[in-house]
Amino acid sequence: MLNNQIKIRISNGPATAMGPGKAELLALINDYGSISAAAKQMKMSYRRAWQLVDEVNKCFDQPLVASSVGGSHGGGAKLTEFGVKVLENYHALIAKSQEASVQELAFIRAHLKSPIESIN
């Protein structure tokens, strides 16, 4: 992944319905079958991951993540069929945006200074 690649955030009112971080979290939930495991991979608290999942689920007309409460066999989470479709479409949107803007990105990247740690 390039440091200065296009990042797309899709807003729904004041909330971000989908963005790079939420897409990564959803992909990890899909891979690991667990919000907790996905959060650990992202070095994020379980609480924060759960908040992001809740926000994503509230932004769409159908849930993207289905979770089950722990018990003797433990809980888990997985993307719904709709969640998989949203994530696929988000990744396609990023890819198409990258492809459509090759010349413009090349020009802008050619004029960037070396990466900086922080702008304050």
User: pLDDT tens digits for 72-113?
Assistant: 556 799 999 999 999 999 999 999 998 999 999 889 889 988
What pLDDT score was predicted for residue 8?
95
Domain annotation for the chain: domains and CATH numbers: 17-111 (1.10.10.10)
Q: What is the greatest pairwise CA distance in the chain?
A: 57
pTM over 0.85, yes/no: no
Burial 46-62 (b: 16+ CB within 10 A, else e): eeebbebbeebbebeee
What pLDDT score was predicted for residue 14?
94
